[in-house]
């Protein structure tokens, strides 16, 4: 379902200079200057629930949300008006440019939550687990850095398992019904909860980047 336009979204983004990174291309090598133990990036943050909740659960980590949709970004930034903490940053831009925003090995962890599956074959290159994206992730992640993916879409999950394997990443964990047991360490958003209430399984996998010449 297409999101309704929010005429106030652009003004909200401009207003939130406390956490919006307006020129992320100037940031490579500087993210550690925020003084946090880890740099965590959520790509496709949507309306921001996961970013907000996880940043509050893990105050020692710097949480950087990336969302290209201006209306969704505006909603996320509006939600966080009263509860933004110093470890929350936001980039309103297309993740296709992510390799320009972080230095090599600067990121500890990447999250992909309920990404657009782009089911049509001619849209394959837009999937956030397509090979060119994986190359960018591998560059900005530290040695043994991890990418965590959750989705309700079985076809995207199957595609991603093959895509990561082809790129030489190490599969560390895989779930075909992640929420069948409690995971208090991982925030549940309203969006995810809708699927859980419908009895729909949540698929989850964790990969580790392998940067040595000999891939696992």
116 given a catalytic annotation: yes
- CA 198 to mean position of chain CA atoms: 24
Given a contact cutoff of 8 angstroms between Cβ atoms, the answer to whether 62 and 40 are in contact is yes
Q: Where are the beta strands (DSSP E) in the chain?
A: 38-43, 61-66, 88-91, 107-113, 141-151, 170-175, 203-208
Buried b (16+ CB within 10 A) or exposed e, 27-40: beeebeeeebebbb
Among 11, 18, 94, 116, which one carries the catalytic annotation? 116
Between CA 11 and CA 43 the distance in angstroms is: 22
| Catalytic residue IDs | 116
């Amino acid at each position: 379902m297409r999101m309704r336009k929010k005429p106030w979204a652009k003004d909200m983004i401009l207003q939130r200079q406390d956490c919006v990174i307006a020129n992320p291309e100037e940031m490579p090598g500087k993210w550690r200057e925020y003084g946090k133990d880890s740099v965590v990036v959520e790509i496709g943050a949507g309306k921001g629930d996961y970013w907000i909740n996880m940043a509050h659960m893990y105050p020692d980590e710097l949480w950087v949300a990336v969302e290209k949709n201006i209306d969704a970004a505006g909603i996320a930034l509006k939600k966080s008006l009263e509860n933004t903490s110093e470890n929350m940053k936001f980039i309103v831009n297309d993740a296709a440019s992510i390799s320009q925003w972080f230095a090599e090995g600067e990121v500890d962890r990447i999250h992909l939550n309920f990404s657009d599956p782009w089911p049509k074959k001619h849209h394959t290159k837009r999937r956030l687990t397509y090979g060119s994206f994986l190359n960018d992730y591998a560059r900005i992640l530290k040695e043994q850095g991890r990418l965590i993916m959750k989705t309700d879409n079985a076809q995207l999950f199957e595609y991603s398992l093959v895509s990561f394997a082809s790129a030489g990443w190490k599969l560390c964990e895989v779930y075909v019904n992640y929420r069948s047991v409690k995971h208090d360490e991982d925030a549940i958003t309203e969006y995810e909860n809708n699927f859980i209430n419908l009895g729909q399984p949540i698929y989850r996998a964790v990969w580790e980047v392998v940067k040595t010449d000999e891939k696992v």
